[in-house]
Structure 1
């Protein structure tokens, strides 16, 4: 594709998107969403043996620091900042690379679980530690004729 054609196509796409937001067909998300995969990773992170350095108190913010095996990996100290208001824990901040990309990470959700700001869904507890969730939607029905 030539550069001129690429430029025309990108301008058309941006114009189409902006009109769909203008008409209300699409909306910007104002709240963070936590996926089941993120709940599972956060729950596994909370159940693992991680050393946590506790807060530096401020009037509106509590700071929590996580120190994960600094000898093995450098730059593995993440600063997690949660609002003091327990209902606004989704507005927490972290300085890990995943948070900078997705605006939510397992450290924020994990600290919210540890501090009893929220509870993970039961499906997040089904996966054993150090195991990843399989792709696709989890099955709701159990296999027949198996002892549970």
Structure 2
């Protein structure tokens, strides 16, 4: 829930063919069953860079009903390399801006609607659309945020871990298998010690998002704006509709249009769908940290000023005093707030 990477298994293989990855995923699947973690196996998903050997092996072992998240960093990088297919360079920025909008789709239905409108808007760029459709819509299409809630859209953490192993653990040397095996035991031992719960600075397995002082402050300042909030209560949860940006008011007509998802152009989709944020919050006050929001900040960080702000309004939570003392527009300094100074003594 705090986008932290926890490595727990090594695999050494001679090549990157599908049968090798099938063996690795089979071992992983067996280990998860043996650990008896009481987890929902359906929530297991793969985050990868689009290599078909890895994706196909994962789906064969775990089942085709599991999601495969395509790393947004790798996807974007590849798309930028192929923008040469659009002859007019002045359009490159607008196309990438629209693709970034697609990436913020909150669910599969919205993604499908938005991509159809995107293809309609750029229908004259036949070469690029043929590449984009074949590569990123027909096959590796798991690169939008709403594919899975509380799941990172990049595999950068594993890439960084790989770099640390090469730079610090093996010192960029090419070791023989026997020597590398010894190093592996040392690495796993280090990982285990880093996650020892008795240590003060241990890397903990978090199950709820971390609310930083900055998040508390932004939430408090958002509450002070006194924006319209329209709520629709269900049995266990309540939907809260909020005006985005500088807007302070919201109408039932705007909410209905937002929910109906009927757009005749990509521009209309952007103006409607990014003009309202929807917060889904449990009616159980103890579960306020499980709230979700459709705003980009929440999609990227799993917490935002709207989820925390609504919880503050409902008195589900109480912000720390230091979060209330920062005025809107003030940049928060890093670290703890300074303590009160000793008063002068006059004799």
- Determine the C-alpha separation between the residues in 2 that align with 1:31 and 1:127: 25
Q: Could you tell me which residue of structure 1 aligns to residue 241 of structure 2?
A: 65
Moved more, 96-105 or 129-138: 129-138
Q: Larger % of helix: which?
A: 2
Equivalent pairs counted in the alignment come to 136
Structure whose CA Rg is larger: 2
> For residue 340 of structure 2, what is the aligned residue in structure 1?
141
Report the equivalent of 1:131: 330
Q: Which runs of 5+ in 2 are unaligned?
A: 1-158, 167-183, 197-202, 249-269
Judged with a 3 Å threshold, the aligned counterparts in structure 2 of structure 1 residues 125 and 58 are, in CA distance, closer, same or farther, namely same
TM-score by length of 1: 0.76
Secondary structure of 2:232's partner?
coil
Which range moved further: 123-132 or 99-108?
A: 123-132
Distance in 2 (CA, whole Å) between partners of 1:38 and 1:44 is: 10
2:307 equivalent in structure 1: 108
Which residue of the partner structure matches residue 51 of structure 1? Answer: 228
Cα deviation digits, residues 32-87 of structure 1 (max 9, x gap): 2211111111000001131212x21211110001013459x941311011101011
Taking the aligned partners of 2:288 and 2:307, their CA distance within structure 1 comes to 8
CA gap of 1:19–1:122, structure 2 versus 1, over 3 A, is: same
1:111–1:24 CA distance, 2 compared to 1 (3 A): same
**Relative to structure 1, is the Cα distance of residues 129 and 70 closer, same or farther in structure 2, using a 3 angstrom cutoff?**
closer
- 3-state SS of paired residue (1:30): coil
Structure of higher RCO (CA pairs closer than 8 Å, 6+ residues apart): 1
Are 1:81 and 1:93, in contact at CA under 8 Å, matched by a contact in 2? Answer: yes
- Gap change, CA 1:131 and 1:12, over 3 Å in 2: closer
Say if 1:134 and 1:19 are closer, same or farther in 2 by CA, change over 3 A.
closer
Deviation at 1:141, TM superposition (A): 2.7
Q: Which moved more, 1:56-65 or 1:125-134?
A: 125-134
| Residue of structure 2 equivalent to 1:121 | 320
The 2-side partners of 1:98 and 1:35 are apart by 14
1:134 shift after superposition: 2.1
TM superposition score normalised by structure 2: 0.35
Backbone CA RMSD of aligned residues: 3.1
User: Is 1:92 matched up with 2:270?
Assistant: no
Cα distance in structure 1, aligned partners of 2:192 and 2:286: 29
Q: Provide the rounded CA distance (Å) in 2 between the counterparts of 1:11 and 1:40.
A: 35
Decide which structure has greater strand share: 1
In 2, distance between residues paired with 1:78 and 1:18?
A: 45
> 1:10 corresponds to which residue?
162
State the shift of 1:21 in Å.
5.0
